[in-house]
Amino acid sequence: MKIDPKTFIKDYLLDICIQCGTCTGSCPVKFRSPLNMRRLVRQTYITGDPASLFKRPELWACTTCSTCSLRCPAGVKNVELIMGIRNFLANQGEVPSTIRDALENTFLQGNPWGRFRDRRADWAKDLGIKIFGEATAETLLYVGCAPSYDPRIQSVSTALAKIFQKANLDFGILGKKESCCGNEIRRMGEQALFKKLAKDNTNLFKKSGIKRIITISPHCFNAFKNEYPDFGIPVQHYTQVIADLIETGKLKLSKALNLPATYQDPCFLGKQNQVFDEPRKILTSVPGLEFLEMERSRQRSLCCEGGGGRMWAEGGTEGIRNGEIRIREAVALGAKVMATACPFCLLTFEDAVKISGLTTEIMVKDISELVAEALEINFNDQISNSK
């Protein structure tokens, strides 16, 4: 099947490109977007061979951080073009095997790793959390896939649930009925599966009488807030909720952590959804925590490379990875903690700390873990035991 370049040029506004090069210069993975992509679209049209496009590893290197789209002075839809090409290839079955597995796993088990659906809420077994269907609550804590299954991120889920219990928040989880939000699925090119997840999840939320949603991951937050059609349920990222609970005196952080810490703005929370202040308000409320701002922060923050399906793609980038660059920047700043508020950032940075041999210099923590520690809440991976 041939790609019609005219459709792509029209749909993603490529004809208004003024070739200023800002997108190329600002791409954190040095992906020559979108000029390179436009060339590839034309090449594919000539050869009639979508596989020639699929074999270009840079297509799968894009993290969909959106920096190129946000900085383009002309309004070209760069990242949407990349997702459009991935969608075209997914429809042809022309995706790398690791991506195909993640998509199939999500279809079958509701998560990209293919872990059993029935074990999705195992982390919450002994925590006394309400489960929708067995009990009612106003607010859903939408846990998400990595916080449900990944042993490192389960610590974040536990910390957050205990924080909300301490603040007497009336919340519940969906337990085994929860499915992937689809944010990464859409970015890996599977638009049809994303639409199915969006429809099924929306129906489940409405049927369960959910009036408000809090997400752990910025990726789920982005999907519900911006990409689910006819949604109508207010959604917040957990940092917005904790910042409010601290400001209104419902959470009183008491234990001093006495650590210098910096913060990584997750792309799907910061530059894509403008939640910059709340994470910083929380960190500066932690007693004894010295907050250090990295030079590249907020809109200028450097993507960790964990999003947009990168967790399941192999190759596509060369040389030192952004996670390691970022960890080295944090160490040079004098930080002993790299704080973030995203499961993908957390996993990417923990790998980067190990790869760079800096395990005695810095630790990686989710903001919820620092708050739990400051509230003297016991959870799986307390900061005092983690070095």
Binding footprint of ligand SF4 on the chain (CB under 6 A) = 17-23, 26-29, 31, 33-34, 62-68, 72-74, 76, 78-79
Cβ of residue 295: shortest distance to ligand SF4, in angstroms? 19
- Are 28 and 67 within 8 A, CB to CB? yes
Of 141 and 223, CB closest to ligand SF4: 223
CA dihedral sign, ordered 344, 346, 347, 351: positive
Nearest to 163 by CA among 178, 141, 184: 141
Name the amino acid, one letter, at 65. Answer: C
Of 25 and 287, CB closest to ligand SF4: 25
Nearest to 269 by CA among 233, 310, 306, 220: 220
- Start-end of H helices in the chain: 5-11, 22-26, 35-47, 50-54, 58-61, 67-71, 78-92, 97-109, 145-149, 151-166, 183-187, 191-207, 218-222, 238-247, 277-285, 322-333, 343-355, 367-374
Nearest to 67 by CA among 296, 228, 227, 262: 296
Of 61 and 286, CB closest to ligand SF4: 61
Cβ of residue 278: shortest distance to ligand SF4, in angstroms? 23
Cβ of residue 97: shortest distance to ligand SF4, in angstroms? 22
Of 30 and 354, CB closest to ligand SF4: 30
Determine if residue 248 is left, alpha or beta; phi over 0 gives left, psi from -120 to 50 gives alpha, anything else beta: alpha
Of 28 and 110, CB closest to ligand SF4: 28
Cβ of residue 266: shortest distance to ligand SF4, in angstroms? 13
- Give the whole-angstrom CA distance, residue 171 versus residue 130: 7
Cβ of residue 194: shortest distance to ligand SF4, in angstroms? 17
Of 27 and 286, CB closest to ligand SF4: 27
Cβ of residue 169: shortest distance to ligand SF4, in angstroms? 35
